Amino acid sequence: MKTPANGYLSLKTISDKLSLELSLLRFYEKIYSSFLPDRINAGDRLVYPAEAIENFKIIHRLKSKHLSEEDIKSQLASLPHKGKKPSKKPLARIITVTSGKGGVGKSNISLNLAIALRLLDKKVMLVDGDLGLANLHLLAGVKAERTLETLIKMDLSLADIITSGPCGIAMIAGASGIAEMANLPDYKRSYLLKQLEQLEQIADYIIIDTSSGVSPAVLDFIRVADDIMVITTPDLTSLADAYGLIKACVQQKIASRFGVFTNQVRNLSQAAAIYQRLASCSQQFLNLSLTNLGYMYRDRSIERAVRKRRPFILEPEKNRVSFCIRQLAELLNHDDFDISARKTPAFRRLQNLLNETNDDGRLSEVL
């Protein structure tokens, strides 16, 4: 059994201490989340501060009196210091890694970037947003027993599906074909997005690895991003598709920062030429400035790492691709981006957006 963070308790531990069913506490968690203290990331799960025991005890006592929901929430709201304390921590910086074309190394870059940021002592949450062909857990060499799909089918909390990845990064595995999401009751959909929103107050960075292309799911993951990192290669079709993706985002009036990271290059001059070509077209035809986020060489050490299911940045032998990823992490971590300017959590904005679409079915793809 894993030991909770010092002074913090898992929901299972609280269940044991109160002699209440775990499923009952999960129900209370969903309905009365605003009257519970915030949780923190303890590696592969979220845990509560010790005072949450008293919160759950009060909620259970009020429920046992068979009061109406309105009366229960009214009494909870009147209790001093029983709700959430305002968080002073800045919201997490969300980086969406995407591409117009598949096979450009996007997932490998996302995984190794997450580890590089963790090695800079940052709390990192890596989300596999490729719901059709989720593979981040395979590249990381971890077994994801629970995914977004099991979150829905087994009525779990988001904390239950977080997997501990290499170097202590937290991972949420993707899934395929979550059709049930389109028909979720309002309270459950609201709860799920609030859980994702909570991640923004726990992590320093949230990295979302999307599928390739310009599907509604990809565009919605892009909408929540502070930074959009478009991966391309020297291949002509990859360049064309990268430009097509950027153009689609501009047409959707997505106002995030756009950056280009060029993979599989032979040398620095080739990387510079590719960036310049894409940046010039974007500036001329879209009136959009692109940031040069760097490049990564074509290197056999990547293939060897994939076969071993081990991130290449953790290989004992020095390799130039690890140097490129570390440079990218340093650039992102030390640039002049000010996350404090964003006051509204990104997943709350996404929830508002989905509400405006009148349930057009995109939610099943987004999550």
- For 280-333, how does the pLDDT look when each residue is reduced to its tens digit (9 = 90+)? 999 999 999 999 999 999 999 999 999 999 999 999 888 899 999 999 999 998
Domain that holds residue 206: 93-356
Kind of pairing between the strands at 162-164 and 124-129: unpaired
Domain boundary among 32, 51, 78: 78
Of 52, 78, 104, the one marking the end of a domain is: 78
**273 with 130, same domain?**
yes
Q: What would the mean pLDDT of 15-39 be, rounded to a whole number? A: 85
Residue 288 burial class via C-beta count within 10 angstroms: exposed 0-12, middle 13-18, buried 19 and up: middle
Per-residue pLDDT band for 118 (boundaries 50, 70, 90) equals very high
Residue 182 pLDDT: 38
CATH of the domain at 34: 1.10.1660.10
Per-residue model confidence as pLDDT tens digits over 184-234: 455 555 666 666 777 887 889 999 998 888 877 688 788 889 999 999 999
**pLDDT at site 131:** 61
Burial of 267 (0-12, 13-18, 19+ CB in 10 A): exposed
Q: What CATH code is carried by the domain that includes residue 148? A: 3.40.50.300
Residue 163 and residue 39 share a domain:
no
Let me know whether 129 and 211 are in one domain.
yes
Going by pLDDT thresholds of 50, 70 and 90, the confidence category of residue 4 is very low
Residue 17 has pLDDT above 50, yes or no: yes
**Whether residue 312 is found in the same domain as residue 182:** yes
Residue with the two structure tokens 């028909």: 183
pLDDT score recorded for residue 30: 77
Q: pLDDT tens digit string along 135-157?
A: 888 899 998 888 777 776 676 77
Give the Cα separation of 138 and 171 in Å (integer).
Answer: 12
Query: What does 99-111 look like in DSSP terms, one character per residue?
Result: -SSSSSSHHHHHH
Whether the model pTM is above 0.85: no
